[in-house]
Amino acid sequence: MTAGLMAYMLISVTMFGLGIYGLMERRNLVGLLISVELMLNAAGINFMAFNYYLMPDKVDGQIMTIFVIGLAAAEATLFLAIVFAVFRYYRSINVEKVDHLRG
């Protein structure tokens, strides 16, 4: 395994970890969205890095990354729509307030 790949892996693991941390700790719905984006992009970096270092003559990883970016765009649209709806109903975008489904 080359040193370059290792560096990319470290970056993506860090981004993914930050994403998870943000998802657990942020109370703001938009913060959550940003955390999710971080995680998705971490995965994208992984795809690109593996593609570049392990099988440079193939493009599968690149296609996957473009697919992930497209998915992230769609997801962000939906998520923002939900955030608007939540805000209209609760007058807040704090996730702790959104607990109507409490058992």
The verdict on 23 binding other proteins (CB under 8 A) reads yes
**How near is the Cβ of 3 to other proteins at its closest, in Å?**
26
d(CA 61, CA 84): 34
Among 1, 24, 74, 78, binds other proteins (CB under 8 A): 24
Integer-rounded Cα Rg, in Å, for the chain is: 17
The verdict on 78 binding other proteins (CB under 8 A) reads no
Alpha helices in the chain (DSSP H): 3-25, 29-54, 60-90
Footprint of other proteins (CB under 8 A): 20, 23-24, 32, 95-96, 98-103
